[in-house]
Structure formats: structure tokens, C-alpha cells
A = this chain, B = another copy of it.
């Protein structure tokens, strides 16, 4: 049982989100180096991962896997297309939808990418089980935060227009 003075709650080094941010950006640094020979940025690499795993997908599905919307994906996919790794084709069945397809070159890159996860895993200094445990913890955190964001948004909306409360 550890009590903390209220004032200290504002200390930067107590903010979990700061540690999280720092770790995320540190990963960015490692990926930047490791992905350089593939010519990919980290988010582009994530898109390729999804395509390698699931095959061709509409932008919508891609976004669901990655939790990204079209505002982020559209320009990113254009860059992948310009790099020759991907084609974007309007679906014939549903003209609203755009299918993202791997090119030969994009599919071929998978082989070269196989070494990436191992290099990254090594860089973390964690073993497989530690990584798994941390992942589980983070996913749990994300779930709680997503739920809370909805809650908070509802509270805020109620505060702005005190319409019909429960």
C-alpha cells in the first residue's frame, strides 16, 4: 500500500502513457534501422504483414486489422503502390470498395522480411515468454482504454448538452 501525494500525480515519470510513448518511439527507432533495406517505414511494414497473412483485402478490412482509418491508409497505400509493392483496384462487385493486392514484388518481399521479427525480438532483450506476457498486459490495457474513451466521451457530451440523462 503506497500512498502518493496528490501533487506528485503530475510528475512526468509517473505517467504510464509517457513510458508507453517512449517505448513506442524507441521501437520506431529500431524498426527504422532494421527496415531500411526493405525501404519500408514501420506502418508500411504493418500493412505488408497483414497482406502477407491474409492475402488481398479491401481497405476497410485492412483498417480493422490495424485500427487505422482511410485518412491514414489512403496516402500510405499510395506510397506502397508507388513503390510497386501493391496495387489498388476498385472492386467489381462493390464499386465503393478498393481491393489492395500484393504485386509479385510485394509478395516476394516476404522472404526478406522473415528475418525482421527475430532481429526485433533480440533488440528487446526479452525472451519469448516475457514478450507474450507484456503483449497480453498491453492488449488488456488497450481494451480498458477503448472502453473508457467511450465512457468519457459520453460524459463530456452530457456535460455540453445536458439533454436527457439516465
A149-B26 in contact given A4-B128, A134-B141 (Cβ < 8 Å): yes
Contact of A145 among B123, B141, B144 (CB under 8 A): B123
Contact of A50 among B12, B24, B36, B152 (CB under 8 A): B12
Cβ of A83 within 8 Å of any chain B Cβ, yes or no, is no
| Contact between A139 and B33, CB atoms less than 8 A apart | no
Cβ of A164 within 8 Å of any chain B Cβ, yes or no, is no
Number of this chain's copies in the assembly equals 2
| Contact between B145 and A26, CB atoms less than 8 A apart | yes
Binding site of A, secondary structure by majority: helix, strand, loop or mixed?
helix
Bound: A135/B135 CA distance, A:
14
Which A48-106 residues have C-beta < 8 A from chain B?
A: 49-50, 52-53, 65-67
| Contact between A145 and B17, CB atoms less than 8 A apart | no
The residue among A17, A22, A29, A52 with the most chain B CB atoms within 10 A of its own CB is A17
**Which A residues lie at the B interface, using CB under 8 A?**
2, 4, 6-7, 9-12, 14-27, 29-34, 36, 42, 46, 49-50, 52-53, 65-67, 110, 113-114, 116-126, 128-129, 131, 134-135, 137-142, 144-146, 148-149, 151-153, 156
| Contact between A34 and B65, CB atoms less than 8 A apart | no
